[in-house]
Structure 1
Amino acid sequence: MTDAATDAVDVSEYDVVVIGAGPVGENVADRARAAGLSTAVVESELIGGECSYWACMPSKALLRPVVARADARRVPGLSAAVQGPLDVQAVLAHRDDEAAHWKDDGQVAWLESVGADIHRGTGRLIGPRAVSVTAPDGTVHRLTARHAVAVCTGTRAVVPGLPGIADVRPWTSREATSAKEVPGRLVVVGGGVVGVEMATVWQALGAEVTLLIRGKGLLPKMEPFAGELVAEALKEAGATIRTGVSVTAVHRPAPDAPVTVELDDGGRIEADEILFATGRAPRTDDLGLETVGLEPGSWLTVDDSCRVEGTDWLYGVGDVNHRALLTHQGKYQARIAGAAIAARAQQGTPLDTSPWGPHAATADHAAVPQVVFTDPEAASVGLTLAEAEHAGHRVRAVDYDLASVAGSGLYADGYKGRARMIVDLDREILLGVTFVGPGIGELLHSATIAVAGGVPIDRLWHAVPAYPTISEVWLRLLETYRG
């Protein structure tokens, strides 16, 4: 046991201790309290976590006017009125409002309203069911859990250890979503969701954006056509995209000097800022995992109830378990984990961890939804064609041009988009769906229901889409499948 543990003056006991008060930790606490379990929540930064202040909320606040203007420019009778530049200061001010000006009073009030106790400070495991909390003033408080400790600490951005990186002060997702000024020239390294969304934002706000991708295309975890359509739109907006290149070194000779980016093909690029959107790592390096026999800095391997393998009390919920690094999926896991913790705490309550049971996060494997809020939007749920084939399913990909749907033509002149559903030929159900096009993000939940519910193709035929909406693509996909 650590010195911090033995020197702790105050000790409090709870049924459940949650480390991390982002959306995931908040939801674990909410479910635990709803089941009548006393709950403590430990947070070292802002209550509300990454999503509220440096990810989902500020990024989507920045993207909304960009996408709305792009949509308006494709509507006859309106396009001429929206040809001017965005009001940068108004966009940034709206972003600040959505990020609550980086104050967590509202989130604190909500968490307190569910009856959870908040402990400000850095939480570390100091043994089974025991957590020490070091407050900002250095005092240490010890918390013990009768039933469960839930680790909901999320992830941090990974910045590569390149020559010159320390002097460059590179942007990560945090700086990209909270910047107060538009850089004249921005280099974005990485073609995943963060990379393409932030390239979309800052290009539209006036930056000269260069996107550097080590692989062959954007959004590599989605169907290939998703990245292709997003890349085409970014180029049309003025961004430069270079594929198959890697950064070998960066230089900034003085704090106010530009950044020089050296590439493995011998080329050089000069920019005012550089954003690395090259992956995430678990925030478990200073969590005390070694005190319970786990490797510091590792992802937490969990079962479908989000309980850490090899324990009967420790849970890893959200990004920290590496199952699906998405806020909404982490909140789903939190609901499952909270219910499982409550069931295990209440003797005699049956536990159902069968697939799609109330204590199993089955959707992590079969029906993970995601929307990329670029122009055009890209949205998917379930498996891609390549993933389904790799898993050994006998499948057929059914494609349809979204521009051929009546609702798309009404939505925008020159509409470009595509839809694909992956059909399991043996069971006649959908394993995955992908949409790319303006305004398609709101289509995704219907696809998620179809995939998660295993709705048979014959029953989907009776789900009549309203005319004339873009959702009529469902009928066209089914007609194409039936031939």
Structure 2
Amino acid sequence: MSETAENQASDTYDVIVLGAGPVGQNVVDRARAAGLTVAVVERELVGGECSYWACVPSKALLRPVIAIADARRVDGARQAVTGDLDTVQVFARRNHYVTDWDDSKQAEGVKSLGADLFRGHGRIDGPRRVTVTRDDGARHTLTARHAVAVATGSLPLLPEIPGIREARPWTNRHGTDSSTVPGRLAIVGGGGVGVEMATLWQGLGSQVTLLARRGLLPRMESFAGKLLERGLTEAGVDVRIGVQVTALRRPDAGGPVTVTLDDGSELEADEVMFATGRIPATEDIGLETVGLTPGAWLDVDTTCLVRGVDGHWLYALGDVNHRALLTHQGKYQARTAGDVIGARAGGLAVDDTPWGDHATTADQHAVPQVFFTDPEAAAVGLTAEQAAAAGHRIKTIDLDFNAAKGANLYADGYQGHARMVVDVDREILLGVTFVGPGVSELLHSATVAVAGEVPLKRLRHAVTCFPTVSEIWLFLLAAYQRAQD
């Protein structure tokens, strides 16, 4: 039964949303704004992965680590850092921000929007129908007049390696909900989760070994991974590039894990964590009942309508459509799709042209991403390699941050690098990458410039405040101008 009433008046709604994380909640908000009735189905915690095991807890844990690192870069503050982090208080801070894994406030938030919340496992059961099975086995069938929106997220991908089951490896969930600092932690994977977890647990006192087949942050500009490798190494992380795990051994359930690498060497750790990718959480949601493959990523158009399903009723948002596995992008998709569902339900026109009201165009051209490491790495849009491969004539402008007086005041001996990728035919930005302390706060300005396709001649009139780290914009634009003269 719905949590909002003892007696559910009807099992028919305009919209049914599978998943009550941030993405699902944004669909609810926009669908309710259009006057539609909504049912939300959640089998775990209302708030989803982001609220309890990913974005929120990881940043709550990382902030004390980065704050100490920032203090040590400022003379006068450096001398005040005389001890280690208080891990008990760090974990308590995390617990506060995840509300001790109590989702009651978020559940109330969903209901305050006017939606009915159903707890249990939701499965699509043919067109526009969802069956909810509660923990006690009770079943409730819901029918959608207009749309079913799948926002079930993704799960960690664990490779098929001998001994992995016995090793009981950590995933991102263990990496963010643990309150015990392992003496030695091996992290497998050099992407965003891997580098953030290496920063976090080394800062909390673990001896971290980071194992990556390719360079760090391989989807960003290559300099980002190199600068981050240097920063992690200086912090004490043992970074090993070009290695692959071939086997794990943990004969004693409470003992250490032996990690065998493809070069024949071995290392021992108290815990091993895999950050080697994600798979869609679509294996058991009934996709086969509408002609789709269970466990597959869902292919969508620019309105997030699932392709291959008749009737314009099934939508997929966030991680499940594999367009950008980032919470903020999923929420962007959800806002757009919620408006689309409302428009289609009302018989209104849908503008799905590029950058139109109902098109998720930014997922192809202006995806912002930040990794809260030391140094931070932030980027939006295309890398130089991606832009060239797409056929653009480009010019890249690279500068170290020491050109900006504000950067040196932010941190003594500030070390960082910036690159902008310019479409020389249109003189707009295709991509921007920053690496350095505090650069996450620069990213939205870059996102506005890329998404808005702001001409560089106009962008030069956006005056940067002195003395701030954002002065790097002034020097990047001046360098491009000199290159053109």
2:230 alignment partner, SS class: helix
Q: Indicate the residue corresponding to 1:3 in structure 2.
A: none
Q: Indicate the residue corresponding to 2:460 in structure 1.
A: 461
For residues 460 and 83 of structure 1, the distance between their equivalents in structure 2, rounded to whole angstroms, comes to: 44
Q: Indicate the residue corresponding to 1:136 in structure 2.
A: 135
Q: Give the drift of 1:404.
A: 1.9
Tell me the number of residue pairs that the alignment of Structure 1 and Structure 2 aligns.
473
For residues 107 and 402 of structure 2, the distance between their equivalents in structure 1, rounded to whole angstroms, comes to: 46
For residues 113 and 365 of structure 1, the distance between their equivalents in structure 2, rounded to whole angstroms, comes to: 34
Q: Is the 8 A contact 2:381 2:431 kept in 1?
A: yes
Which letter maps to 2:301? D
Q: Indicate the residue corresponding to 1:238 in structure 2.
A: 236
Q: Give the drift of 1:10.
A: 10
Q: Give the drift of 1:180.
A: 1.3
Pairs within 5 Å for 1:315-354: 315-347=315-347, 349-354=348-353
Q: Indicate the residue corresponding to 1:226 in structure 2.
A: 224
Q: Indicate the residue corresponding to 2:292 in structure 1.
A: 294
Pairs within 5 Å for 1:311-460: 311=309, 312-347=312-347, 349-460=348-459
Q: Is the 8 A contact 1:168 1:251 kept in 2?
A: yes
Q: Indicate the residue corresponding to 1:25 in structure 2.
A: 24
2:268 alignment partner, SS class: strand
Q: Indicate the residue corresponding to 1:63 in structure 2.
A: 62
For residues 186 and 403 of structure 1, the distance between their equivalents in structure 2, rounded to whole angstroms, comes to: 34
Q: Is the 8 A contact 1:10 1:142 kept in 2?
A: no
Q: Which runs of 4+ in 1 moved over 2 A?
A: none
* Pairing 1:155–2:154 present: yes
Pairs within 5 Å for 1:239-278: 239-278=237-276
Q: Give the drift of 1:212.
A: 0.5
1:274 alignment partner, SS class: strand
* Pairing 1:171–2:170 present: yes
Q: Is the 8 A contact 1:318 1:333 kept in 2?
A: yes
Which letter maps to 2:233? K
Per-residue CA deviation, residues 83-138 of structure 1 (Å, 9 max, x unaligned), is 42111110011011111111101101111110010000000001000000001110
TM-score with structure 1 length normalisation?
0.97
Per-residue CA deviation, residues 387-427 of structure 1 (Å, 9 max, x unaligned), is 00111100011111112210011001111001110000110
Which letter maps to 2:460? W
Q: Give the drift of 1:301.
A: 0.1
For residues 11 and 199 of structure 1, the distance between their equivalents in structure 2, rounded to whole angstroms, comes to: 50
2:26 alignment partner, SS class: helix
Aligned residues with identical type, % of pairs:
63
Aligned counterpart in structure 1 of residue 305 of structure 2, from 286, 307, 314: 307
Which letter maps to 1:332? Y
Q: Structure 2 stretches of 5 or more lacking a match?
A: 1-7
Deviates more, 1:161-170 or 1:291-300: 161-170
TM-score with structure 2 length normalisation?
0.97
Which letter maps to 1:252? R
For residues 440 and 402 of structure 2, the distance between their equivalents in structure 1, rounded to whole angstroms, comes to: 16
For residues 219 and 409 of structure 1, the distance between their equivalents in structure 2, rounded to whole angstroms, comes to: 26
Q: CA RMSD in A?
A: 1.0
Q: Indicate the residue corresponding to 2:122 in structure 1.
A: 123
For residues 193 and 403 of structure 1, the distance between their equivalents in structure 2, rounded to whole angstroms, comes to: 26
Per-residue CA deviation, residues 28-73 of structure 1 (Å, 9 max, x unaligned), is 0111011100000000000000000000000000100111111111
For residues 456 and 436 of structure 2, the distance between their equivalents in structure 1, rounded to whole angstroms, comes to: 24
Q: Indicate the residue corresponding to 1:4 in structure 2.
A: none
Q: Indicate the residue corresponding to 2:103 in structure 1.
A: 104
Which letter maps to 1:212? L
Q: Indicate the residue corresponding to 1:43 in structure 2.
A: 42
Which letter maps to 1:329? Q
For residues 219 and 414 of structure 1, the distance between their equivalents in structure 2, rounded to whole angstroms, comes to: 24
For residues 179 and 168 of structure 2, the distance between their equivalents in structure 1, rounded to whole angstroms, comes to: 16
For residues 253 and 427 of structure 1, the distance between their equivalents in structure 2, rounded to whole angstroms, comes to: 61
Q: Is the 8 A contact 2:376 2:438 kept in 1?
A: yes
1:66/1:223 CA distance change after superposition, 3 Å: same
For residues 96 and 225 of structure 1, the distance between their equivalents in structure 2, rounded to whole angstroms, comes to: 35
Q: Give the drift of 1:189.
A: 0.2
For residues 144 and 11 of structure 1, the distance between their equivalents in structure 2, rounded to whole angstroms, comes to: 9
For residues 24 and 461 of structure 1, the distance between their equivalents in structure 2, rounded to whole angstroms, comes to: 36
For residues 169 and 384 of structure 1, the distance between their equivalents in structure 2, rounded to whole angstroms, comes to: 37
Q: Give the drift of 1:255.
A: 1.2
Q: Indicate the residue corresponding to 2:145 in structure 1.
A: 146
2:11 alignment partner, SS class: strand
Q: Is the 8 A contact 2:403 2:475 kept in 1?
A: no
For residues 32 and 111 of structure 1, the distance between their equivalents in structure 2, rounded to whole angstroms, comes to: 12
For residues 124 and 234 of structure 2, the distance between their equivalents in structure 1, rounded to whole angstroms, comes to: 51
1:127 alignment partner, SS class: coil
Which letter maps to 2:83? G
For residues 242 and 475 of structure 1, the distance between their equivalents in structure 2, rounded to whole angstroms, comes to: 37
For residues 133 and 11 of structure 1, the distance between their equivalents in structure 2, rounded to whole angstroms, comes to: 14
1:465 alignment partner, SS class: coil
Q: Indicate the residue corresponding to 2:3 in structure 1.
A: none
Q: Is the 8 A contact 1:11 1:144 kept in 2?
A: no
For residues 413 and 473 of structure 1, the distance between their equivalents in structure 2, rounded to whole angstroms, comes to: 16
Q: Is the 8 A contact 1:300 1:308 kept in 2?
A: yes
Which letter maps to 2:60? A
Which letter maps to 2:26? N
Q: Is the 8 A contact 1:10 1:141 kept in 2?
A: no
Q: Indicate the residue corresponding to 2:4 in structure 1.
A: none
For residues 302 and 100 of structure 2, the distance between their equivalents in structure 1, rounded to whole angstroms, comes to: 36
